[in-house]
Amino acid sequence: MSSLFRTKSVEQSIRDTEEPETALKKSLSALDLTVFGVGVIIGTGIFVLTGKIAKETAGPSVAIAFVVAGLVCALAALCYAEFASTVPVAGSAYTFSYASLGEFPAWIIGWDLILELALGCAVVAVGWSGYMRSLLDTAGLHLPQWLSGTHNGDFGFDLLAALLVVALTLVLVAGMKLSSRVTGIVVAVKVTVVLIVVIVGAFFITGSHYDPFVPPSQEVEGGGGIHAPLIQLMTGFTPANFGVMGIFTAAAVVFFAFIGFDIVATAAEETHNPQRDVPRGILGSLFICTLLYVAVSIVVTGMQKYTELSTDAPLADAFKSVGHPFWAGLISFGAAVGLTSVSMILLLGQTRVFFAMSRDGLLPRAFSRVHPRFGTPYRSTLLLGGVVALLAGFTSIDELAELVNIGTLFAFVVVALGVILLRRSRPDLPRAFRTPLVPLVPIVSVLASFWLMLNLPAETWLRFAVWMLLGVLVYFVYGRTHSRLGRGTQAGEN
């Protein structure tokens, strides 16, 4: 039983990064990491979620909901920053768990991250495909229905979504520096579009649209059974829209607009100075995105009354409502471009977690080989890129998107607990960044993340449990017997 919780020392994890066949190339700076963070966070959340939540849940006070969600993420970010600067190894929460909680918990979190990032990449690729089909239709080019994905029970293949994933896979194989340059260009376009929304939109704000800033509370109607939030089934508590409680209900939803900052930690091993640059990249990208989210939500609810906002393309439609279709078109273009970087960085994070698990022997070691020229884990990248391309092409996964959310929150809980345990078991470790007020900050992070998990539907919990049970089976059939730590074959122990 004790073998399930055997830990891999921080020193051993770092030594493994020096093995020639599995050593990733170091090419990233703090700026690259911040760009990655901004690139993955700013996506559908800012272009779609802002209007939807303002109209249905919080009104103009959605700006406060973004601040609340940003604070919850900041708690988790402080824990990630300590681990990433102490254990600058690919794998993010998986690697951190291996050093603090043990092999089996590490496997579980790694298995969880593989699902989270695969589904996240596929969902975003399908969303990008929808934007591109819209732009093609405007240009008079129409894809046949059977190449436009599965919709309303009609089977099809989403060609554009699959092609996007294939193209991004090849970019990731070609090297991290190329990936960061592509991301840099995309992020520049997307941030420019967001700033245009804020600056130009500010001239069309009508003060009366903010009245009331916090609309009167409304109890949520209906919604029982497996589709109801787990907290509702457990306690009978019914969430409220609008009012003060509506702000917190909204925060539970807009939290998912921040998903992705933790992926910065997966690139720690490929960073020149991870002890200094990874905390800067994580916290810097989160701070920038929170400011942009708050600014956009204030502007869009000032341009158009929250009750009239579109739930499909709120930013673009807000400009149409004030008679400026040119800016609306530019925003739609920016949204399509922006989703490209989100897909790529989610795929990047997934391949690094898979690579780290493979290097430890918990998955086949063949996938931990790096390309002799590019220094990237090309085998795992090609494998996962192919799987995600098929997933995006053949599957209608709107209902599975919430698995991305529960997977991320589960990772937040594990990392926060890991900080407390590693502080106790290895107080001697040099920590370039230290989470303040331990154990208070990690405990609050655990409670905040778990509260948001309870607000997810029971159906999502059920699907998550099925995936976790499958992961347990794979671990006992393969991972436990092939673990390099269990066999004593880690570098330096031969």
Residue 493 lies in a domain: no
Residues 6+ apart with CB under 8 A from 277: 28, 29, 30, 33, 271
Which pLDDT tens digit goes with each residue over 379-391?
A: 999 999 999 999 8
Residue 375 lies in a domain: yes
Residue 16 lies in a domain: no
Q: What SS3 class is residue 218?
A: strand
d(CA 26, CA 13): 16
If one counts the domains in the chain, the total is 1
Q: At residue 394, does pLDDT exceed 60?
A: yes
Q: At residue 103, does pLDDT exceed 50?
A: yes
Residue 470 lies in a domain: yes
Residues 6+ apart with CB under 8 A from 384: 118, 169, 347, 350, 351, 354
Q: Tell me the whole-structure pTM to 2 decimals.
A: 0.82
Amino acid at 64: I
CATH code of 451's domain: 1.20.1740.10
The per-residue pLDDT for 371 is 86
Cβ pair 164, 122 in contact under 8 A: no
Indicate the helix (H) or strand (E) that contains 141.
none
Residue 21 lies in a domain: no
Residue 19 lies in a domain: no
Residue 407 lies in a domain: yes
d(CA 90, CA 98): 12
Token readout for 363 is 């998955």
Residues 6+ apart with CB under 8 A from 210: 60, 301, 302
Which pLDDT tens digit goes with each residue over 311-363?
A: 766 887 888 888 888 887 788 788 778 888 888 888 988 898 899 999 999 99
Whether a cis peptide bond, with omega within 30° of 0, leads into 442 is no
Which residue range(s) make up the domain with 99? 26-479
Residue 484 lies in a domain: no
d(CA 35, CA 45): 17
Token readout for 168 is 């991004």
How distant, in Å, are the alpha carbons of 41, 75, 92, 247 from that of 282? 11, 12, 12, 25
Average pLDDT score over the chain: 84
Lowest mean pLDDT among 17-31, 123-137, 220-234: 220-234
